[in-house]
Amino acid sequence: MPDLFVRRPRSGRSAAPPAAPAGGGRAIASGWRLLPALLRPRRRPLAAAAAWSLVEAVPALLSGLLVATALDRGFLAGRPGAGLAWLGLLGFTMLFRAAAMRMMFPCLAAVVEPLRDDLVRALVAATVTRAAGGAVPDPAAVTRLTEQVETVRNLVSALLRSARTLGTSLLAALGGLLILSPLVAAAVAVPVAAALAVFARLLPVLLARQRALILADEDLTARATPILGGLRDIAACGARAQAQAEVESAVAAQAAAIRALAWAGTSRRLVVTLGAHLPLMGLLIAARPLIQTGRLSPGEVVGAAAYLVTGLDPAMRMFVGVAGSWGVTLTVILDRLAETVTVPARTPPGPPAPALRDGAGCAVLPDAATSGRPLSGRPLSGYRLEAEGLSFAYASRAAPVVHGLDLTVAEGDHLAVVGPSGVGKSTLSMLLTGLQPPTGGRIRLGDLPLEAIPEHRLRTVMALVPQESYVFAGTLGENLAYLCPSDPRTAARRVWEAVDAVGARALVERLGGLDAAIEEPAALSAGERQLITLARAYASPARVVVLDEATCHLDPAAELRAETAFAAREGTLIVIAHRISSAGRARRVLVMDGAATLTGSHRELLARSPVYAELVGHWRDDGAADGPSPRRLTAGT
């Protein structure tokens, strides 16, 4: 596959997909620089298609000349047999055209089909690379991977077929016209040049409006996807009207973009009229004086008209239609794809970092904040997690989701995080584990800032288990041991300890043991997938575990066993609580309510925090209900 990735230096651990390439590296300025990269490995079939297209152009090149000869030397000269012979020769050249078309299409297929595969691989690699680097998931990637890639495939196929026809027809018509009558060719060139100038002025408008439509499509996907995925929460919170308004505004923006593009497209008719209809009208008006003065013969007039009607007119229509519609769409989509296949540069592997030590042990790690100089004399004291002035907002002008938070979680502590839905609890879990960089403040693990700890080491000592459990196709044992040490004997022991600790042995036996194949992870229930991911995290060497509603699909008894196991496990446990029992089991509770936060024990917060008391009341009132109450929800941010 051609190198479709434009790499740029990394700035931080994660970065959102750019709206346009930026950074210190070489970026793709135009999508038309991406297309040659896709087509370059298939130069041979492209060259073969071009050669057969030239053969296909022979009848168009000869058509006007043969028609003029048939009239002047045959029918008008009183020799109908000769006229029929010249027309027969024109018909014979059509056989070459049919043969050339038959040979050309397999060459085009060898170009177009692999192109789609290359684009899919590039987009998947870029999306996964960003996600692995901690970037915010990009829901619009699905639109690019399906609709936009398939559109590129179809448009490139159509453009290659049309471009060869357009090029051969236009060149044959103008070339044949020049051979037949340089006077007529010169007269036709003026309106054709004017038409091309008008189209050049129109093209930037078409490109801008097509891009607006593409971005409106992506925006609709990005805004509708989380709403469709959170219908339960929306219904529970009574936010149906807000969700409907959000989707309707995105749909209205998309419809407005479609209308604006359609209005701009109507201007293309002026180009066809100016470049094709006007020359033909001028020839027909001037035909009689040209014949009377002897500048053109009747046959040459008919031949020139044939070039204009059968060559120039279809060519201009095709040019305006192809370049003004397909070409504009392809240009904008290629620009967008070129932007989104830009991925961070791969950092050259350095020397392995020393292992973090347990308890109060010390270790020296390279510090990214000091240009890679060793932190000599700066020990890592255990796994205390400390946030100072922590803030985060999703946009520069948006209200902060987390604002000025100060929090210390001692090594071995058990903290529950509670608060109304949408207050920022899931965002906090991403910040504390380094999966989302803060917009203000800092986070330290031990005595080191998170950004100073190598990525692979940070992922070893910290684990985040989200609400949506990830189970991949493979064996059950492979899923459970995914985060285990590489030693098979150690891994097997840790897996069975984890299975028993979180209460998943019955599930393992029901599925057929560790060697059981999971071919369709979606066939497992949400609770079964959560048990698998909980056991996977328990078996890992992580010393700080964050459960972000990781037990929401388990019954209270199964949740009790899982959380009790993690609380007894060596290390620190942070739970984003979705039941009052989770908060009651924790040694400390963090209450989030917008900019205000409060920390204390369950009993202390009942007396000190009206928000916490209200949440506890809602939880208790809703304990036997099938669905969650509005204030019980913790998903979202």
Indicate whether 531 pLDDT > 90: yes
Tell me how far the alpha carbon of residue 438 is from its chain's centroid: 24
The CATH code of domain 412-434+452-632 reads 3.40.50.300
- 86-131: pLDDT as tens digits: 888 888 877 877 777 777 778 777 777 777 777 777 777 776 666 5
pLDDT of res. 136? 53
Indicate whether 369 pLDDT > 50: no
31 and 337 Cβ atoms separated by less than 8 Å: yes
Largest CA distance in the chain: 115
- pLDDT (average), residues 463-468: 88
pTM beyond 0.75: no
Q: What is the DSSP letter of 451?
A: G
Mode of pairing for the β-strands spanning 402-409 and 385-392: antiparallel
Q: Where in the chain is the domain with CATH 3.40.50.300?
A: 412-434+452-632
Indicate whether 326 pLDDT > 80: no
Q: Which fold has domain 28-342?
A: ABC transporter transmembrane region fold (1.20.1560)
Q: Where in the chain is the domain with CATH 1.20.1560.10?
A: 28-342
Indicate whether 365 pLDDT > 70: no
Rounded to whole angstroms, the Cα distance separating 569 from 109 reads: 59
User: Closest Cα to residue 5, out of 128, 151, 154?
Assistant: 128
Rounded to whole angstroms, the Cα distance separating 206 from 19 reads: 20
- What are the start-end ranges of the E strands in 412-528? 414-418, 440-445, 448-449, 462-465, 474-475, 517-518
Helix (H, G, I), strand (E, B) or coil at 444: strand
Decide which of 341 and 183 is more confident. 183
pLDDT of res. 331? 73
